[in-house]
Amino acid sequence: MIKKALSSKRLFTGLLCLTMAMVLALGTAFSSANESNSGMQNRAVASSTAEAALKATATTTKTPKYIFMFIGDGMAAAQVNLAQIYKGNNKHNQISLKELSFQDFEAVGYQTTHDATSFAPDSASTATSLSSGFKTWSGTIGLKPVGNKSGNKPENVNSSNIPQTIAERLKAEKGMKVGIISTVTINHATPAAFYAHVPSRNDYYDIAMQMAKSNFDYFGGGTINQPTGPKKDQKDAYEVMKQNGYTIAKTKKDILALNSKSGKVYAITPVVQDSGAMPYAIDNKAGDLTLADFVKKGIDVLDNEKGFFMMTESGKIDWAGHANDAKANIGDVLAFDNAIQVAINFANKHPDETLIIVTGDHETGGMTIGQATTGYDTAFELLDHQKMSYVAFDNLINEMKAKNPKLSFNKVLSVITENFGLVNETTGDISRKGEPSYMTLELSDREMSKLKTAFAETMAEEPTDNEETDLLYGGYNPLSVTLTHILNNKAGIGWASYSHTGVPVPVYATGAGAELFNGAYENTDVYNKLVKITDLK
């Protein structure tokens, strides 16, 4: 149904172009009610004046009243494609992809993501580029770099001339309401880049204070990191929010009761998993609020006659990328897709006045489809056997370890089989009879030995800290990260890093002004295009 609605929108845009061409070519006005017939009959004339028509369309685009900006943190083309493959069919020799909601959007571009420090940028600087249109140091939020000494310190940024973000500008200059949503803490780098200006992303308390002063209308999702400051001796940020007029809703009932008469609100996830964030989508229990729920509620709260700007970040696509956990990564991309579908449903009710942009800030993990041990094969359905994220598995192992400090590998192996499907080669059954061994759930001798080493490392009182363990485990629980590596590799998914990489990121757009997002450009141009579309001076 959605697809139909969107393709008819695309058809409408196309016909609008043809109509423009007719007007320009013949110099006569005609009724737009007959666009369809006139357009069809005059295709030849239209193509000869396509350039003029395009120009006319660009300059007559209606300013969007409702703007949704979705940022998949750490989501580049590979992450989108991975979710498509997993949602599709990966039975050997029966390959098909399943499209995500936003892949049908009429405009697609790609943005390059380097910052003032590096081609492997961080979230603070890249989100600043998207929200404010300039490159800054890795780790800096909303302030311009000074000099040539990289470093997110007060002396390296210009704190006297504070640039305004697109969200701040739309609120101040257009009276639009603003909503900021994130699955991770709401004073984390990406959401902060829309309301805060600090030398370092680690200035969490300062960011929270700027959030409280932002006067933005809706915050939703994760909690506040360090609400009483790094030394826990400052005034509670939640109290400051309340003093500044925010209603804080932290139960499902209170959140679902919010509406356009609720005033300024902060809707906090009732379920927290790690570092103050919402759980990974694959760890959600039935009935838990999802990112889609926070977007739905955001629309309820923000809807008003002057329109709104809503930025929604899926922050744990990035965290799963850092941890090299493909299943958790896919789960959060699919949950992100569901949240985008909420905006698409809204756009279908408000055609021609809604703009939806979906992009990422950078890639995380150096994820690839295909890797050394599987060669030209993929077996994504093996991921079905992973039942929980690496975080949930860490917790499970830690509980087992606390109960029994002399835990044996064999005991853990049965828990591994239960939650990752992986089985001992000599005792397990072959999941894909007739397939090459690397595409089955059976652990080879090499994989078994890796697991045993990782388990010993996980159980050790003093973990080994050297170049080898850094490369093998990246600072994560050795057993969990080895398990996701083994399962991901068997499926044909590779990882090059525990950090961000510098590959370009796709941009998808639909609705009013979407055509501006076609092409290849710098991440800073996302801001510039938004300024142009919304007629900010």
Catalytic residues: 123
Annotated binding site for Zn(2+): 73, 318, 322, 361-362, 500
Minimum distance between the CB of residue 317 and Zn ion, rounded to whole angstroms?
9
Q: How far is the CB of 121 from Zn ion (least distance, A)?
A: 8
Binding positions for Zn ion, rule: CB under 5 A: 73, 123, 318, 361
CB of 194 to Zn ion, least distance (A): 13
Tracing tokens 């001076």 back to the chain, one arrives at: 537
Look-up of token digits 């890639």: 363
DSSP conformational letter for 140: -
Whole-number minimum distance, CB 522 to Zn ion, in Å? 16
Residue list for the binding site for Mg(2+): 188, 190, 313
Sign of CA dihedral 178, 184, 185, 187: negative
Of the two residues 141 and 258, which places its CB atom closer to Zn ion in the complex?
141
Are the C-beta atoms of residues 483 and 451 closer than 8 Å to each other? yes
Q: 73 or 217: whose CB is closer to Zn ion? A: 73
Quick one: which H or E segment has residue 177? strand 177-182
Spatial separation of the C-alpha atoms in residues 341 and 336, rounded to whole Å: 9
Q: Which is nearer to Zn ion, 337 or 361 (CB)?
A: 361
* For Zn ion, the closer CB: 13 or 359: 359
The greatest distance separating any two alpha carbons of the chain, rounded to the nearest whole angstrom, comes to 86
Query: β-pairing, 368-369 with 493-494?
Result: antiparallel
CB count within 10 Å of CB 410 equals 8
Pull the structure tokens for residue 306.
């002057």
How far is residue 30's CA from residue 26's CA, in Å, rounded to a whole number?
A: 10
CB of 222 to Zn ion, least distance (A): 14
Going along 113-176, which residue ranges are E strands?
A: 144-145, 157-158
What DSSP assignment string belongs to 325-394? Answer: -HHHHHHHHHHHHHHHHHHHHHHHHSTTSEEEEEEESSEES--EES-TTTTT---GGGGGG--S-HHHHH
Q: Which residue is nearest to Zn ion (CB)?
A: 123
Please, which residue, 246 or 476, has the CB nearer to Zn ion?
A: 476
Bind-site residues: 73, 188, 190, 313, 318, 322, 361-362, 500
Asked if 137 and 125 touch (Cβ cutoff 8 Å), the reply is yes
Number of H helices, E strands in the chain: 20, 20
Q: Which is nearer to Zn ion, 130 or 310 (CB)?
A: 130
Which tokens is 302 given? 């923000």
Rounded distance between C-alpha atoms, residue 81 and residue 464, angstroms? 36
Smallest gap from Cβ 277 to Zn ion, in A, equals: 13
CA dihedral (335, 338, 340, 346) positive or negative:
negative
